Structure 1
Amino acid sequence: MSYQFPSSFYALPSKFPKQFYKPQAETVVEDQIITIDNFFPQDVCNDLIKSIENSSAIKLETTPLVKSKEYAARYNDRCLTTDFEATRALWSYLNQILSQHVEYADEDLDKIKETFSSAVFLNPQLRIYRYRKGHHFGKHYDEAVVAPLDERSSKKGKTKWTLLIYLTGDEEFEGGGTIFHPEIRGVKPLNIHPSKGMALLHKHGYDCLKHEAEIVKRGEKWVLRSDVVF
């Protein structure tokens, strides 16, 4: 028996065209970091957390704290599932947001649309992270990987952007920001503390900024992660 995403998750692509307010992407750092506020409605966030906590088909396991020169210190709860059906729903929804037409001139949205115009799918290995008090992930880079595009063929693509969807945010946890460290002298780190349901896209592979998950001081930080495939 495999884990089943909740029905509210699968309904996202069909509901998007009917929404009066549609989430929009916004550049934080050009060609590096993009955020989408209210990417997931709060009920979808809550349904996902509840379904994961109550599922017998998927189990959160605590990542051992590793301290070495080769690996960043990481201490959190995580699980993963490879699910093409769920990934197709998530990609359809994200693609609608990134490619949507707006009735006014917006150079930033045009650049974002162009950046993802050659994207074809998401990594079907969907990862769920839970950070409790004391959990964190030290400074690291996200590597690009080769990911399958279909469960029925050998077609593959390469990932270029990390997709993080914050299932909790705002006052639900203290600390726990995603901190980016520009490798430019005099430029201060950028700490993004998410709102609930916010999505964050950041470039990875050779173009990845060094980043970390700040230690959680209170509450629980939940994240759904995939990667954009080109």
Structure 2
Amino acid sequence: MPVAQNLNLSGRFALVVDSVFSGEECQELIDLAERSDGFAHATVNDNGQQVACKQIRNCLRWLNDDASLADCVLQRLRDVLPLTWSGRTLSRLNNQLKFLRYSKGHYFKPHFDGEYTTPDGSETSFITVQIYLNEGFSGGETTFLRFTGLERKILHSVTPKTGRVLIFEHEMLHEGSVVKEGTKYVIRTDVMYR
């Protein structure tokens, strides 16, 4: 059973869980993504349209629909995930796994993760799952922030570590801090509630 560290961010749900995946498993996932030849510039949501905007988000992304892998991740995290959220019951992880590759100079400026609702309206996401696949680079922390006027306050920074998983509610302002050297690999998906 994984041990979760609560980040204690003003009563918001945010956990770090270490050693969810082994180094070998993480390398296999990196290799899978690199063999896919599917990396493209990541987009942002602009009034319901997906657009490339490197001023906000500068990294590469491969979208991989894999129900089996999503279920594997869920089984490893089930004991630390909320069983209910906003009157709904945990159903699964989103099968769309976003493999992200951040090279030197890449970043994702402060943002909130958006909810995903299935086309039939039966399931909605409220929580982000972010799996760090490697280390050995500098920068690239996931940094939780608060702005008071123009003042930027860092609430907490999570340093990527191979096999570490960061879990947090979508409505938390955060950024993917700039990668200063090397390459960072991450998988991002959502916890779905019915």
Give TM-score, length-normalised by structure 1.
0.69
Structure 1 segment 200-215 matched on structure 2, within 5 A: 200-204=166-170, 208-215=171-178
Q: Is 154-163 or 40-49 further displaced after alignment?
A: 154-163
Runs of 4+ in 1 over 4 A off after TM superposition: 112-117, 183-187
1:174 paired residue number: 138
2:21 paired residue number: 40
Structure 1 segment 94-109 matched on structure 2, within 5 A: 94-95=77-78, 97-98=79-80
**Alpha-carbon contact 2:64-2:97 (below 8 Å) kept:** yes
2:112 paired residue number: 141
Shift of 1:65: 4.1
Q: Which runs of 5+ in 1 are unaligned?
A: 1-21, 68-72, 99-111, 149-153
1:101 paired residue number: none
2:125 paired residue number: 159
Q: What is the rounded CA distance, in whole Å, between the counterparts of 1:181 and 1:66 in structure 2?
A: 20
Shift of 1:113: 5.3
Shift of 1:183: 4.8
- Kindly indicate whether structure 1 or structure 2 has the higher relative contact order, using CA contacts under 8 Å at least 6 residues apart: 2
2:68 paired residue number: 85
Percent identity reads 29
Larger Rg: 1
Shift of 1:92: 2.2
Shift of 1:93: 2.5
Q: What is the rounded CA distance, in whole Å, between the counterparts of 2:153 and 2:104 in structure 1?
A: 29
SS at match of 2:118: strand
Q: What is the rounded CA distance, in whole Å, between the counterparts of 1:159 and 1:32 in structure 2?
A: 14
Q: What is the rounded CA distance, in whole Å, between the counterparts of 2:192 and 2:57 in structure 1?
A: 25
Could you give the per-residue CA deviations for residues 72-127 of structure 1, whole angstroms, max 9, x where no partner exists?
x11101110222232222222221x42xxxxxxxxxxxxx6566793111111111
Aligned length: 178
Q: What is the rounded CA distance, in whole Å, between the counterparts of 1:222 and 1:190 in structure 2?
A: 20
1:24 paired residue number: 3
**Alpha-carbon contact 1:123-1:147 (below 8 Å) kept:** no
**Alpha-carbon contact 1:131-1:220 (below 8 Å) kept:** yes
Could you give the per-residue CA deviations for residues 199-226 of structure 1, whole angstroms, max 9, x where no partner exists?
001101xxx1211100000111100111
SS at match of 1:94: helix
Q: What is the rounded CA distance, in whole Å, between the counterparts of 1:114 and 1:86 in structure 2?
A: 20
Q: Which runs of 5+ in 2 are unaligned?
A: 43-51
2:186 paired residue number: 223
**Alpha-carbon contact 1:75-1:135 (below 8 Å) kept:** yes
Q: What is the rounded CA distance, in whole Å, between the counterparts of 2:160 and 2:189 in structure 1?
A: 17
Q: 1:83 to 1:114 in 2, by over 3 A?
A: closer
Q: 1:114 to 1:53 in 2, by over 3 A?
A: closer
